[in-house]
Structure 1
Amino acid sequence: MHVLITGANGFVGQSLANHILSQGCVGESKVSRLTLLDRQFDEAVDSSSLDLVVEQHSGDLADDQWLKDTLGRFPMDVIYHLASIPGGMAEKNDQLGRSVNIDATMTLLEICKAQTESIGHKPVLVFASSIAVLGIMPDLVNDDTPLKPQMSYGAHKVVGEVVINDFSRRGWVDGRSLRLPGVLARPPAETGQLSAFLSDIIRELSQGHTFVCPMSAQAKTWASSLPNIIENLIHGAAVEESKLKATRTFTLPTLCFSMAEMVDAIGLVYKQNTKELVSYEPNPMIENLFGCFPSLETPSADEVGFKHDGDLNKLVERALLK
């Protein structure tokens, strides 16, 4: 099996690549070749002791000719399309956001179409969408909730979901769009993620440091641990196409909790007096984007085997696992 990961040097991409390298398979299928794409890589993968071929390619995903040349050499079985320009960065640079989030996705789909038509081998494409597609939400979110994205990033992800569904309908790709919630805990870095504070609060409070939370104690959000997201990405590629039925787009099961509940869980898991360490200074924009999340039902995702962390203590405990 040949597996491709775009955005392979990112937070989720690195973890997914490391999981595949350590397990040597996706589901029950053995991986023989792993191709990693990103603008640059922090370090090279030493595959000399591995029973699979690993290639890292640095380049601009918005360069469609580079993408076609790089991916046209070997047929692909599974594609994880994780590369994106996230929320804050896409708002600041509209052209960059569209070129990566929309144009590169279309080029990747055209490559899949060309492969299917030339050799009759339809690749599985797992697209990392986002709960940002939901935007303004009602009191209960379920599979029938209308999409009302409030940022360009969310709008771009809606476009990706729609075209992946259409290419799948036409038999050119076996697509699965997974709407990822907040993923915890991201390393401390400038990534353009407006929700980075959700990772920072776990890291800082777990070490006994004070933290100023930009949302109120009662603000509610959704999130999953990185290990849980990796499990769902692997399952997303492994689930049989026949089980997808009427939809190829899934809002992943995740936990809904208040900031006060998260602070309590961090204190319990890491034995810290977190109530004294945290203070709340709500930022209206941040709270509007990330602190007004309602209850969530995900029957379609539940039916095909996607899962959340189980409980908030487990999420907090797993969030800092290496």
Structure 2
Amino acid sequence: MRILIIGGGGMVGQKLAHNLALSGTLGNRKIAELTLADAFAAQTLSSTANFPIKTVVADITNPVIAQSLITNKPDVIFHLAAVVSGEAEANFEKGYSVNVEGIKNILEAIRLTGNGYMPRLVFTSSVAVYGGPYPEIIHDDFHLQPRTSYGTQKAISELLVNDYSRRGFVDGVSLRLPTICVRPGKPNKAASGFFSNILREPLVGIEAILPASKSATNYFASPRSAVGFLVHAANLDTSVLGDNRAMMMPGVWGTVGDEIDALRRVAGDEIVALIKDEPDPVIEKMLSNWNFPDITSARARALGFKAENTLDEIIQVHIDDELDGKIPGRSK
């Protein structure tokens, strides 16, 4: 089978590619070719695969380029590419161009290929599609009322995936991802980035800025879980989904204070002391539009999607996967 990862140069795309390279299969099918497409050159995978891996620089806001990605008819397409939340809010036109026109161009390229071509498309949506006022718990049938441009763009994209799937052009699944935490590497432009920063930097002995209140809430899952969601979705029997191809992925609800408490339990007071409060009104305003309650994710859980159960587990996954099981920021 042929696999295309759009957004293959990003953190989740790279981790997914490594997973596929190591396994050599997706479900019970052998991988014949993997293509990583992104707006910039994706780094070469360090793991050895028994199939060719290609990297392509591609601007999916250009319909001709989007069509070129579908020329060899990939069997599975992971659409991970996006302008993240903070940047989508700051640059309105870019957010809609990439986050809405990009997925529409890919869907149109699939439709226009025709001749019975109907690949599995796994699209990464976001918890940001929700907006208040919230009930005590968000259930699967809770309405979408996003209060940011990013959330609106993701909600529009979900509807496109639903409609193209209903019409038989594509076999789509939209995964509403929790905030992925702890993100390795450097901070990005996501408004939610600090949820990772306040854990990642202290664990390696670097001060981290906390720009929001400790009462701010979010819904979390690790990068390892994110890859698991994507692989599971690629193998899912979509006939059980009906016309609604979108679902909220499992995760762990918590406040910033809960994150800090978990970090203290896992790594100690010395590490927690590296977190410095510096309120940022812009970040705090955006967070007030989220302020999520707990989310059941019952539909996804019933279909076999799995994530961590505690913030302590999420932090330990980061230590194991990114820090070789050690905490370098802690003095001997």
Q: TM-score, normalised by structure 1?
A: 0.91
Q: Would you say 1:270 and 2:267 are equivalent positions?
A: yes
Counting only pairs closer than 5 Å after superposition, residues 311-322 of structure 1 correspond to structure 2 as 311-320=310-319, 321-322=321-322
Secondary structure, counterpart of 2:117 in structure 1: coil
Q: Would you say 1:220 and 2:220 are equivalent positions?
A: no
| Equivalent in the alignment of 1:13 | 13
RMSD over aligned CA atoms reads 2.1
Secondary structure, counterpart of 1:196 in structure 2: helix
Secondary structure, counterpart of 2:250 in structure 1: coil
| Shift in Å, 1:281 | 4.2
| Equivalent in the alignment of 1:196 | 193
Cα distance 1:56–1:277, how it changes in 2: closer, same or farther (>3 A)? closer
| Shift in Å, 1:82 | 0.4
Cα distance 1:249–1:153, how it changes in 2: closer, same or farther (>3 A)? same
| Shift in Å, 1:283 | 3.6
Given that residues 263 and 274 in structure 1 are in contact (C-alpha distance below 8 angstroms), is that contact kept between their aligned partners in structure 2?
Answer: no
Q: TM-score, normalised by structure 2?
A: 0.89
Counting only pairs closer than 5 Å after superposition, residues 59-208 of structure 1 correspond to structure 2 as 59-72=58-71, 74-115=72-113, 117-118=114-115, 120-138=116-134, 139-189=136-186, 191-208=188-205
| Equivalent in the alignment of 1:33 | 33
| Shift in Å, 1:94 | 2.0
Given that residues 39 and 60 in structure 1 are in contact (C-alpha distance below 8 angstroms), is that contact kept between their aligned partners in structure 2?
Answer: yes
CA distance in 1, matches of 2:118, 2:81: 21
Deviation larger for 307-316 or 186-195: 186-195
| Shift in Å, 1:310 | 1.9
The structure 2 residue matched to 1:244, chosen from 223, 231, 241, is: 241
Secondary structure, counterpart of 2:191 in structure 1: coil
| Shift in Å, 1:274 | 4.5
Deviations 1:177-231, CA, capped at 9 Å, x for gaps:
0011111122443532111111111112223444332222233221111001110
CA distance in 1, matches of 2:249, 2:271: 29
Cα distance 1:131–1:162, how it changes in 2: closer, same or farther (>3 A)? same
Given that residues 206 and 272 in structure 1 are in contact (C-alpha distance below 8 angstroms), is that contact kept between their aligned partners in structure 2?
Answer: no
**Aligned residues with identical type, % of pairs:** 33
Deviations 1:109-159, CA, capped at 9 Å, x for gaps:
1122233x31x2310000000111113240321112111111111111111
CA distance in 2, matches of 1:264, 1:225: 17
Read off the aligned partner of 2:197 and give its amino acid letter.
Answer: D
| Equivalent in the alignment of 2:303 | 304
CA distance in 2, matches of 1:44, 1:78: 21
| Shift in Å, 1:34 | 0.6
Given that residues 182 and 200 in structure 2 are in contact (C-alpha distance below 8 angstroms), is that contact kept between their aligned partners in structure 1?
Answer: yes
Instruction: Provide the aligned length of Structure 1 versus Structure 2.
Output: 318
The structure 1 residue matched to 2:255, chosen from 222, 240, 258, is: 258
Cα distance 1:136–1:289, how it changes in 2: closer, same or farther (>3 A)? farther
Stretches of structure 2 lacking an aligned partner (at least 5 in a row): 323-332
Given that residues 188 and 200 in structure 1 are in contact (C-alpha distance below 8 angstroms), is that contact kept between their aligned partners in structure 2?
Answer: no
Cα distance 1:220–1:45, how it changes in 2: closer, same or farther (>3 A)? closer
Deviation larger for 300-309 or 165-174: 300-309
CA distance in 2, matches of 1:279, 1:92: 25
| Equivalent in the alignment of 2:326 | none
Secondary structure, counterpart of 2:192 in structure 1: coil
CA distance in 2, matches of 1:254, 1:269: 19
CA distance in 2, matches of 1:152, 1:7: 20
Read off the aligned partner of 1:202 and give its amino acid letter.
Answer: L
